[in-house]
Structure 1
């Protein structure tokens, strides 16, 4: 069926005439020469009627142009029959730590040193792309947790939002508890036994309002299964370690393991790209859960037709104004050429 998504835009149709009535005219409208019997002459010749008819003919193209623009702005669409969407899958949120420590380049990918966030973007992006039939969402957290992408079948968009994540946009600290709490809030309305949170972090809880274990207990009550992934190389020894600079020591593995136990999930440790890839393979084996089918009606946008017609009318109006001048110019050129001796 055909429909306008924003049909209310047609209420603006009288706007040009309203503005014409309210705004002052460009001239006074007074005749340069007053003739007392002009009205009688117009009545005898019928010229006034022809002038009014000519006025309407001049306004008609502009009125049609305005209607075409309104039709394009109202978003005309051809809506098809309802089609079922994939309904077998899990509701999976991926929460990624973007605190300051994720910038540390202690990971290996293709023989090169890369930051922790770069590796997570690359491999977790592939994991998101492979979640066919799942609703996938994205949470980014630092000092606070933000829902970057709600649960959706559009995995490409979620992957794009993950690629565009920047260190520090959510703060420099790590609010693991807040990230879990936000995930529970978004998953609690989804069907039971399908609520999954993949939590990727490289540190301990240093911010937020909810303790991670308390948030994990709430997740367990709501049936949310959490799979924590600890990212980062093993603690190193040496001069930097003696000076207190050793990011590998920041990871709070006991707490992450406890979170997994409370929610029925599993804790994973990713020290390099190979281990993170094996974790993805394990998560890919999660059994899908049958859900209620979702129907969607495909819509084809038709705004290009009225918009194209409006552009054509505009071009014709411009040519109507310019054509007499072009014709006069060409005539003058031909006449000047005709006067020249051969």
Structure 2
């Protein structure tokens, strides 16, 4: 199907006729007859000399040439396009925020990866998240890091390469030494408010308990639940630890219960398989299906025809002129 991107350009079609009717013909002044006794001749013939005009008239082939060329140029200006068949487009309706704890305790080396190697907790989390992000094709991912304060390191985006680069650059202590779980949840809620997703998921990865957030984790979880945000908590580290490194399992389960999420505890990489299974089961919600039609520009075709037509007309005029000149010489 052919359509015009700028159909208003077709209004220029009658422009040459308007110029022909409204603009006077171009004139030049020149002396037709030169004679030393011209004034006497005019007096004897009782005629008064005056200005005259000769308007050259175009033949119908010339009018045809101008009309065809103008039509083709105007068609090119209207930008003809070929519209292809409608192509359906579906986009994911899920925004997923991953909140990573960067408190001082994440520097502890007690995380065991799939090969049995002992890593720092933060390195284990990075390795697990890199594998997890590679599975999340179609979701918009965001990265939030927190310690004494929460920071949005990467806003929601489908660009996983940028997400992984910013994750790799995150280091223990860059957000402060403490573990403010409630503030991290509150920051994620604020960022979700600016998104238009139908399904919202927050994955909270931490190795400690709350260190005195301005908003308690339980209250922050209730606010998140009121905004349809599901929170999954992944705890890493030794459950027998004490102090700020201790895992407040009851508080974390309260967060997941309030939002409809799940609680996982991971001492090694293999422990995160249930997290994969749970999140892979969450099919992304789809927005209303939209369509787009591929467009192919065709404006160059009228211009090409116009150039060929002008060349043809000029060639015919040259041949006719040569033929007429030959006839005169023969005569």
Q: Tell me if both proteins adopt one fold, taking TM over 0.5 as the criterion.
A: yes
1:131 corresponding residue in structure 2:
136
> How far apart are residue 268 of structure 1 and its match?
1.1
Superposition map of 1:284-303 within 5 A? 284-291=280-287
CA gap 1:119/1:86 in 2 versus in 1, 3 angstroms: farther
CA gap 1:293/1:188 in 2 versus in 1, 3 angstroms: farther
> 1:234·1:271 contact (CA, 8 Å) conserved in 2?
no
Report the Cα distance in structure 2 between the residues aligned to 1:166 and 1:140, rounded to whole angstroms.
Answer: 9
Superposition map of 1:179-258 within 5 A? 179-191=184-196, 193-235=198-240, 246=242, 250-258=246-254
Aligned length: 209
1:162 and 2:158 are equivalent in the alignment: no
- Segments of 5+ residues of structure 1 without an aligned counterpart are 2-82, 237-245, 297-342
CA gap 1:173/1:285 in 2 versus in 1, 3 angstroms: same
Report the Cα distance in structure 2 between the residues aligned to 1:293 and 1:92, rounded to whole angstroms.
Answer: 21
2:94 corresponding residue in structure 1:
90
Helix, strand or coil: the match of 1:165? coil
* RMSD after superposition: 2.7
> How far apart are residue 159 of structure 1 and its match?
1.4
> How far apart are residue 270 of structure 1 and its match?
1.0
Helix, strand or coil: the match of 2:270? helix
1:7 corresponding residue in structure 2:
none
Report the Cα distance in structure 2 between the residues aligned to 1:294 and 1:252, rounded to whole angstroms.
Answer: 46
Helix, strand or coil: the match of 1:87? coil
Report the Cα distance in structure 2 between the residues aligned to 1:92 and 1:108, rounded to whole angstroms.
Answer: 26
> How far apart are residue 286 of structure 1 and its match?
1.4
**TM-score, with structure 1 as normaliser:** 0.56
Q: Deviations over 1:83-112 (max 9, x none)?
A: 987512411000000100011011111121
CA gap 1:161/1:277 in 2 versus in 1, 3 angstroms: farther
- Segments of 5+ residues of structure 2 without an aligned counterpart are 6-86, 293-331
> 2:97·2:156 contact (CA, 8 Å) conserved in 1?
yes
> How far apart are residue 190 of structure 1 and its match?
3.3
Superposition map of 1:1-342 within 5 A? 87-109=91-113, 110-191=115-196, 193-235=198-240, 246=242, 250-291=246-287
> How far apart are residue 221 of structure 1 and its match?
0.8
